[in-house]
Structure 1
Amino acid sequence: MKKKTGAALILILSVMLVIAGCGSNGNSNSNSTGNKSKDNEAKKETTEAVSGASEASYTPYDQLKDKYDIIIVGAGGAGMSAALEAKAKGMNPVILEKMPVAGGNTTKSSSGMNASQTKFQKEQGIEDSNDLFYEETLKGGHDTNDKELLRFFVDNSAGAIDWLDSIGIRLNNITITGGMKEKRTHRPEDGSAVGQYLFKGLVKNVQEQGIPLFVNADVKEITEKDGKVTGVKVLFNQADEKTITGSAVIVTTGGFGANKEMIAEVRPDLEGLVTTNQIGSTGDGIQMIEKLGGTTVDMDQIQVHPTVQQEKSYLIGEAVRGEGAILVSSEGKRFTNEMDTRDHVTAAINKLPEKAAILVFDSGVKSRVKAIEQYEKMGFVLTSDSIEGLAKEMNVPADQLQKTMDTWNSAVKNKKDAEFGRTTGMDNDLSGAPFYAIKIGPGIHYTMGGVKINTNTEVLNKEGQPITGLFAAGEVVGGLHGQNRIGGNSVAEIIIFGRQAGIKSAEFVKAQ
C-alpha cells in the first residue's frame, strides 16, 4: 500500500513539474507579442499532451550521466521503439526530448498503423500481401519512393504489429485509408485514435525497462571526431548545457511541419496554411545532421492533409472516411472520391470556391471511430436527428443534402459509386440517426522529405556512405513516401524503422 501511495505522489509531482516547467519556460521572454503568442501555443500543446503525459514520470535531472551506449534524440514513437530494442540488445540507452512532455507528433496520430499479412488480418479473413502493400504505396507516392526502404518497410510491417502486441500494445481493429484496396490500417481494439494509445504503451515499457527519459533536454549539436559521432551537446531547461558522450546517436526528432520558415523556403505556395504538427516539429534533427555532412532528399515534398478543422488546426482522421463518411461542398453535393489519395482529395477541395468542405456521417460511423468522441469534446461536431436539421446546422440546402445522402446510400447498397468511382469505405450506408458533420479544410500535415538513410537506418553523406555511429528513423527521414504519403504509413514507419535503428545501433556499438 505504501508503495502505491508513493508512486501516486511521484506521479502527481511529475505532472506538476511538467506544467510548471512549461510555465517557467514560457515566461522567460514575455515582453514581446510574438513571444506571448509562442508561449500560449506552448501552453496549449502541453495541455493537450498532459492527458497522455500525466502517466509518464520523467527521469530527474540529477540522474543524468556523462556517458551512455546510445543517445536517442527525440521521444516520439520512433525514439521509444529504438530505445526498447537497444535495451533488449543489452545496451544502456538514453532518450533526450526538447519539449516539456514526450510523444511528439505520435500523440496526434489518429487513423492507425498500416501493415500487411498480419496475424490479425488472417484472423479476420482479410486477404492481403506485402507485394500489394508495396505496389499501392508506390502508386500513392507516384513511383518516386525509395524502393529499398519501401521493400524493407512492407516486409517488416507484420513483425512490427507482432512486436507491439508482445509488449502489450494490441492493434487488432482494422480499417482502411485512402489509396488502399485492402483493410490494413490497424487500430486499438476499441477503434480509438492510435496516437495516445501507442504513446502510453511505449512510455510504460520504457519506464518498466528503466530507460532514462529526460524532457526539457534540447539537443543543439551532434558531436564528432575524425568522422565518427561521439555524442551530443544538450541544453537542459534552457539554461544548463552539457556534453554527453555515446558510442552511437539515433536521431528521431520528427519533421519540420511546424517550422514556417523552412516550409516557406522549400514550398512558398503553402505559406499561410494551418499545420496539424505539434510545435516541436521544427526540423532540428535535419539541420544538425546536415552540419555533419548528411544529405537530404525530397525536402519540397510536403503533404497537405485534406481534412483539418481550421480554427484549432486539428486533424480529422482518415478513419472517419474509411468507415463511411462522405465529403460535401457548401451546396450539399459530393465532389470527389473521398477515399482517393490525400493529394487528390486536397486538390478537389481546393477547386471549390471556398476551398473548404464538410464531412458528413451517421451514428454508425461514430460508433466505429472512437476519435469522434474527442472531436465532439473539442466542439467540432454538428449534429441533428434528421438530414434536414443537419443541413440547417451546416448551412447547406436541405433538399440537396437529402438527395446527396439518398444517392450515396443507393451507391453503397449497389456497391457502385457511379458519380466518383469510390470502391472502399462502403461497407455501411449513412442511414442511422442521429447525423453528424464536421467542417474541414486542407492543412500542412507531414513532411515527406528529410535525411537520407539506408535500410540499416545509417545516415548517409553526399557520397552515399554512412556517417559512422549516426542513425535516424521516423519523419526526420526522407525517401520512403516519395511525393505523397498514404494514411497509416507514418505510424508504421516510426515503429518499423525505430526498431531497426535500435537493433542496428546496438550491433554497431557491440562491434566497436
Structure 2
Amino acid sequence: MSTKITADIGIIAAGPAGLCAAASAAEAGCSVVVFEKAAGPGGAANMGMGPFAVESRVQQRALVNLTKEEAFRKYMDYVHWQVDAQLVHDYIWKSGDTINWLEDMGVEFAGVMKNFPASEQTWHVVKPEGGGIPGPRSASAMNKVLHQYCLDNGVKFYFNTPAQKLVKTDDAVTGFIAVSLEGEEYEVEADAVIIATGGFGTNPEMIKQYCGYDMGKDIFTFNIPGIVGDGIKMAWEAGAGKSRMEMEKIAAPNLPGANLGQWPQATLFMQAGPLAVNKSGYRCCDESIMQNGSVGANIVDFQQDHVMYKITSDDMIKYYRRNGMDFPNEVFGGDPTIDFDANMARAEEEYPQLAFTAASLEELAEKIGIDADNLIDTVDRYNDMCDENYDDDFGKNRNYLHPLTGKKFYALEFRCNAYGSLGGIKINHNYEVITDDYKVIPGLYAAGTDVCDIYNGTYYYYFPGNTMGFAINSGRMAGENAADYVHEE
C-alpha cells in the first residue's frame, strides 16, 4: 500500500540545488514537495563555505569591479568554448542577483574572498551560524535559511525518504516513487520533476567506470554518505542522455581531514617554497602553480602512480615564521609554523606512509621510498638556483625561491583529492533533461552537480565558489523553468 502525493513540482534531494529549486518554484506559485534521503537539508554544501557570483551587492560593497562580461570571457577562454556557452552565460548573469535574493531571505555573508592570490574575488563566504570566523561548513547557515524560507512558502519536505524510480506517462515524466527508511512507499504525482541529487562522488564503481580512478588509491573524495549517483541512474533509466562525467579534482596533502583544517601544518606544504618531487626524486613543477588546486591535481595526476611529495625543512619553516606565508589562506587561518614539529610527529605516528620527518635527505628518501641519489641531486640543483635567485628549470617567481636547507626535513604525500563528481545527466540551457539525440523529455529537469558539465576537464578554481554557485543558480533557474512549464500545461 503506497501513499499518494500530488504536487505541481516534485524535487528529488534537498541540497543547495534542490532547496533553491523549491524556493523559486514556490515563489512562482507552485505547490512543491521535496524528497531527501538524508535526515536533513543541505547535502554536501553543509561542508562548504559559500558560492561564486559576479556583480552582487556584496561585491559592490567590497569595491570588486569584475563584470559579468569579463567573467564570461575569462570562463569561456579557460574551457576553450567546449561547453554549453548559453548555460554558462545564464549562470554568470544570474549569479549576482541570486546572492541578493539570498540576502533578502536572511542569508548573511562574511565577505567576498579569493581562494588564492591569482584567483578572482568571487567567493561569497557565508557568515557562520552564531558568528565567528568563517571556515569549512560555514555554508550550512545558508542552507538552514533556505530550508526555512521554503517551509514559510509552503514547500513540504520528506526526509529519510529517497526517491527510487521516475514515473513516465507516454514520453513525459509525471512523478516518481520514493520509499522511506521505514519502508513506507510514496507515489508522487507531479507535473514536473527536478533531479538534484549531488552526483556520484562516493560511488567507487561509477568513479572507476566513468572517470577511470580507483577510489581510495589514486583519488580520494570527501566520502559524503549517499552521494552515489542514484538520481543520474534514474534519469538514464527514463531515457536521459549521458553528459561528460569527471571528478572535481584538487591536489592536496593526503592526510585524512587535511582539506577540513584538521592538520594545521598542511597549509605550509601548500606554499610555493616546499619542493615538489615525484616518485623518482625529480622536481616536477613550479611549486607556486599549485596555489591553484585544480591545476595542481593535473600535475599530480601526470606523475608515476599519480603521487607527488612536497618537502620542506626547519630552515624554511624559520623563514615562514619570520616573513609569513607565500600565500595567506582565507580558508584556514592561523600560523601553520606553530607546533609544526609536534603536528608532524602526530601525523607520522598516525600515518607513517603519508607523513615523514628525517634528519637528512638520505633518511627522508628511504622513508618515502624514492631514489636518494636523484633526490639529493634535485635538492642541490634547487638550492643552487635559490642562491642565484633564478629558477632556470620552471621559472618560479624569485620571491618564492627558499632554499631547502637545515637539520630536519619534512615531507607529505600529495594525491588527487576530489570535492565530488561532475556531470552525468544531459540537459539543455533551460535545465530540461534531454536524450542523447537532444530531444527534450517533457516534465523532467535537473540541476546541480548531476548536470555540472561546464569545466572541460579542469575545475575553474580561478573563480572560487564555482560548483556551489552553479548548484544554487542552476537550482533556482530549474525551479523557475519548471514552474513556467507547469503553468503552460
User: TM-score with structure 2 length normalisation?
Assistant: 0.73
Distance (whole Å) between structure 1 residues aligned to residue 473 and residue 71 of structure 2: 15
1:498 and 2:475 aligned: yes
Distance 1:396 1:138, change over 3 A: farther
Which residue does 1:200 correspond to in 2?
144
1:114 and 2:65 aligned: no
2:211 to 254, 267, 270: 267
Deviation at 1:168, TM superposition (A): 1.2
Which residue does 1:344 correspond to in 2?
295
Which residue does 1:484 correspond to in 2?
458
Q: Is the 8 A contact 1:100 1:215 kept in 2?
A: yes
Which residue does 1:130 correspond to in 2?
68
1:158 to 78, 87, 96: 96
1:72-95, Cα deviation, whole Å (9 max, x unpaired): 001100000111111111111011
Distance 1:366 1:304, change over 3 A: closer
Q: Is the 8 A contact 1:71 1:246 kept in 2?
A: yes
1:226-263, Cα deviation, whole Å (9 max, x unpaired): 11111101111152222111111000001111111111
Distance 1:327 1:132, change over 3 A: farther
Which residue does 2:372 correspond to in 1?
none
Deviation at 1:155, TM superposition (A): 1.3
1:328 and 2:274 aligned: yes
Q: Is the 8 A contact 2:252 2:293 kept in 1?
A: no
Which residue does 1:292 correspond to in 2?
238
Q: What amino acid does structure 1 have at the position aligned with 2:202?
A: A
Which residue does 1:20 correspond to in 2?
none
**Where does 1:162-177 land on structure 2 (aligned, <5 Å)?**
162-177=100-115
Distance (whole Å) between structure 2 residues aligned to residue 248 and residue 222 of structure 1: 11
Which residue does 2:156 correspond to in 1?
212
Distance (whole Å) between structure 2 residues aligned to residue 135 and residue 422 of structure 1: 27
Deviation at 1:211, TM superposition (A): 1.9
Q: Unaligned stretches of 5+ in structure 2?
A: 128-132, 278-282, 347-355, 362-375, 401-410
Which residue does 2:308 correspond to in 1?
355
2:451 partner SS: coil
Which residue does 1:448 correspond to in 2?
422
Which residue does 1:225 correspond to in 2?
169
Distance (whole Å) between structure 1 residues aligned to residue 339 and residue 256 of structure 2: 26
Q: Is the 8 A contact 1:306 1:349 kept in 2?
A: yes
Deviation at 1:341, TM superposition (A): 4.3
Which residue does 2:280 correspond to in 1?
none
Q: What amino acid does structure 1 have at the position aligned with 2:237?
A: K
Which residue does 1:249 correspond to in 2?
193
Which residue does 1:384 correspond to in 2?
338
Deviation at 1:177, TM superposition (A): 3.2
Which residue does 1:92 correspond to in 2?
31
Q: Is the 8 A contact 1:296 1:478 kept in 2?
A: no
1:185 to 107, 115, 123: 123
Q: Is the 8 A contact 1:74 1:97 kept in 2?
A: yes
**Where does 1:9-20 land on structure 2 (aligned, <5 Å)?**
none
Which residue does 2:353 correspond to in 1?
none
1:239 partner SS: coil
Distance (whole Å) between structure 1 residues aligned to residue 311 and residue 95 of structure 2: 33
Deviation at 1:197, TM superposition (A): 2.6
Distance 1:313 1:248, change over 3 A: farther
Which residue does 1:34 correspond to in 2?
none
2:232 partner SS: helix
Distance (whole Å) between structure 2 residues aligned to residue 321 and residue 501 of structure 1: 38
1:113 partner SS: coil
* Number of positions where the alignment pairs a residue of Structure 1 with one of Structure 2: 420
Deviation at 1:339, TM superposition (A): 5.3
1:37-78, Cα deviation, whole Å (9 max, x unpaired): xxxxxxxxxxxxxxxxxxxxxxxxx9x762111100011000
Which residue does 1:510 correspond to in 2?
487
Which residue does 2:247 correspond to in 1?
302
Q: Is the 8 A contact 1:383 1:390 kept in 2?
A: no
Q: Is the 8 A contact 1:78 1:494 kept in 2?
A: yes
1:199 partner SS: helix
Distance (whole Å) between structure 1 residues aligned to residue 98 and residue 477 of structure 2: 10
Q: Is the 8 A contact 1:228 1:467 kept in 2?
A: yes
Distance (whole Å) between structure 2 residues aligned to residue 367 and residue 328 of structure 1: 15
Q: What amino acid does structure 2 have at the position aligned with 1:384?
A: I
1:9-31, Cα deviation, whole Å (9 max, x unpaired): xxxxxxxxxxxxxxxxxxxxxxx
Which residue does 2:130 correspond to in 1?
none
Q: Is the 8 A contact 2:272 2:326 kept in 1?
A: no
Which residue does 2:408 correspond to in 1?
none
Q: Unaligned stretches of 5+ in structure 1?
A: 1-61, 374-380, 427-436
1:81 partner SS: helix
Q: Is the 8 A contact 2:114 2:330 kept in 1?
A: no
Distance (whole Å) between structure 1 residues aligned to residue 260 and residue 77 of structure 2: 24
Percent pairwise identity: 23
